């Protein structure tokens, strides 16, 4: 069946069969050498991560660079960074859906996978940061035998527990339900594969049974689609405020305090904008690599990448706006402490971090004003990396510069991350990429049914 092309820049114009074959190819061929190399690097970083983790359990948190004024170091920086990365996935699958942005369909599956892995990585950091991770289940408010001893409902750290776990579970449900029609599609094309050995036969049987189970007996009935589509709409409508609430609550961790540089009421929308900004940059990085290695240029077109570039431009300017408001209000406040914190950021011992952040976050997105640069893969790729470096430094600046000089000058100190801090940071990328690399080989990286729905819609309009 072929569909007539219509005037939609995101129309693909291939047969449904061709779409299946294109998107499933990475799952149905043996991984390439590049994939193996990437996977080995990621897995060894993951091993390093696990190694440092175990070492820190044995030795204690002393191996990290935390000290008395700077009680929150790279751990919290990484936590906020990874939670932020996750936000773009939900944004693409939910908010862009509500705003009827057609270009989301080709990228939402991979972006949602990114969300789930990023949230998983993020959750590890506070878990270790509590000091005694084996008691971490105490954060859940269940009736217990430790006297009547309950969690503090007024603590933003507890709100975080609720926000992150709700976010993870809802995202996972959303992602899985989106995969069900594609699982059914995979289930129904297994007959084409023949095993050549006994073990192969066994594996194939296991695969068939697994697909049968996880596709939930999906038969493509219109009556199921009818409810299913409503569910997508409702989950989008729920996930949109949810994703905003998650980073809002992360920002509450800082803003409910009275530390100058942390207590700013603009933090909630400012953090949300920053999260979208860094998340989209990460999506851009991943998409540029993915479309090239898996030959998905017909699905993830330059127009998609250009749109992501525009989102980066807009959210970058929102972040710049928040920086400006912080400085303007500090100047306006005539409050010595407030003014000192911001002067210290500009010209203090961590000024290098601030100016790195400034160059990456405030200056670099403006290249996206130019259509030529938005259509240049190299430029896009560099910008996407630069923005993520900038956003990492933004969290570093917020956490460290606000803490290292507090109200009591006698306790001022510098924070120097140790080799273990950096190892954990690098290792977290290993964890993330290990999961992501496994994902691209085992699940359809593009939501096939959704792409088909858009294509079918085009053909209906063309028929009019």
In the range 175-214, which residues lie near other proteins by CB under 8 A?
177, 180-181, 184-185, 187-189, 191, 212-213
**Shortest distance, CB of residue 308 to other proteins, whole angstroms?**
15
Distance CA(277)–CA(265), nearest Å, equals 20
Task: Return the residue of 41, 158, 204, 379 that touches other proteins, per CB under 8 A.
Answer: 158
**Shortest distance, CB of residue 29 to other proteins, whole angstroms?**
19
Mutual angle of helices 222-255 and 156-187, in 10-degree steps: 150
Task: Return the residue of 67, 224, 301, 375 that touches other proteins, per CB under 8 A.
Answer: 224
Query: Contact, 356 vs 297, CB < 8 A?
Result: no
Query: Contact, 49 vs 431, CB < 8 A?
Result: yes
- Assigned token pair, 237: 């409508």
225 binds other proteins (CB under 8 A): yes
DSSP state letters, 2-47: -----S-TT-----HHHHHHHHHHHHHSPPPHHHHHHHHHHHHHHH
The residue among 115 and 285 lying less far from other proteins, judged by its C-beta, is: 115
Task: Return the residue of 106, 115, 248, 361 that touches other proteins, per CB under 8 A.
Answer: 248
**Shortest distance, CB of residue 119 to other proteins, whole angstroms?**
14
* Backbone Cα Rg of the chain: 24
Stretch that binds other proteins, among 75-83, 117-125, 168-176, 345-353 (CB under 8 A): 168-176
Of 299-318, binders to other proteins (CB under 8 A) are 317
Of 330-349, binders to other proteins (CB under 8 A) are 332-335
**Shortest distance, CB of residue 457 to other proteins, whole angstroms?**
5
Distance CA(112)–CA(109), nearest Å, equals 5
Of 125-144, binders to other proteins (CB under 8 A) are 141
Task: Return the residue of 40, 202, 328, 416 that touches other proteins, per CB under 8 A.
Answer: 328
Q: HSE-up of 29 (CA within 13 Å, CB side)?
A: 12
The residue among 170 and 438 lying less far from other proteins, judged by its C-beta, is: 170
Closest CA to 101 of 308, 373, 366, 283: 308
269 binds other proteins (CB under 8 A): yes
Task: Return the residue of 205, 241, 297, 382 that touches other proteins, per CB under 8 A.
Answer: 241
DSSP 139: G
Q: Is 214 helix (H, G, I), strand (E, B) or coil?
A: helix
Task: Return the residue of 29, 258, 372, 410 that touches other proteins, per CB under 8 A.
Answer: 258
């Amino acid at each position: 069946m072929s569909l007539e092309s219509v005037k939609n820049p995101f129309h693909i114009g291939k047969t449904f069969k061709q779409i299946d074959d294109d998107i499933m190819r990475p799952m149905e061929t043996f991984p390439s050498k590049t994939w193996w190399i990437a996977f080995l690097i990621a897995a060894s970083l993951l091993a390093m991560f696990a190694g440092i983790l175990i070492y820190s359990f044995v030795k204690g948190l002393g191996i990290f660079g935390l000290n008395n004024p700077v009680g929150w170091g790279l751990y919290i920086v990484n936590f906020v960074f990874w939670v932020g990365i996750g936000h773009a996935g939900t944004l693409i699958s939910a908010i862009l859906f509500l705003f009827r942005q057609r270009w989301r369909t080709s990228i939402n599956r991979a972006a949602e996978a990114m969300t789930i892995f990023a949230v998983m990585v993020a959750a590890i950091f506070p878990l270790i940061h509590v000091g005694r991770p084996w008691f971490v289940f105490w954060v859940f408010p269940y009736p217990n035998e430790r006297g009547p001893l309950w969690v503090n409902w007024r603590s933003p750290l507890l709100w975080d527990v609720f926000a992150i776990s709700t976010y993870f579970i809802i995202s996972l449900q959303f992602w899985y339900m989106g995969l069900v029609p594609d699982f059914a599609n995979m289930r129904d094309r297994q007959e084409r594969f023949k095993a050549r050995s006994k073990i192969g036969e066994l594996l194939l049987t296991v695969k068939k049974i697994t697909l049968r189970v996880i596709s939930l007996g999906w038969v493509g009935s219109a009556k199921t689609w009818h409810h299913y589509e409503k569910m997508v709409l409702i989950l989008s409508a729920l996930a949109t405020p949810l994703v905003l609430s998650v980073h809002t609550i992360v920002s509450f961790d800082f803003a409910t305090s009275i530390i100058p540089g942390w207590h700013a009421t603009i933090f909630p929308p400012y953090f949300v904008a920053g999260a979208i900004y860094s998340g989209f940059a990460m999506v851009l990085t991943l998409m540029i690599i993915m479309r090239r290695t898996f030959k998905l240029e017909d699905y993830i077109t330059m127009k998609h990448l250009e749109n992501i570039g525009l989102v980066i431009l807009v959210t970058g300017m929102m972040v710049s706006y928040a920086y400006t408001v912080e400085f303007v209000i500090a100047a306006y406040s005539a409050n010595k402490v407030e003014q000192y914190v911001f002067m210290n950021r500009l010209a203090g011992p961590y000024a290098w971090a601030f100016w790195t952040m400034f160059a990456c976050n405030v200056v670099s997105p403006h290249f996206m004003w130019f259509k030529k640069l938005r259509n240049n893969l190299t430029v896009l790729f560099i910008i996407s990396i630069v923005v993520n470096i900038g956003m990492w430094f933004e969290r570093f600046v917020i956490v460290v510069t606000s803490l290292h000089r507090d109200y009591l000058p006698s306790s001022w100190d510098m924070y120097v991350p140790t080799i273990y801090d950096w190892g954990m940071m690098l290792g977290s990328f290993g964890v993330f990429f290990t999961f992501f690399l496994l994902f691209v080989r085992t699940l359809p990286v593009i939501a096939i049914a959704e792409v088909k729905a858009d294509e079918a819609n085009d053909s209906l309009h063309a028929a009019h």
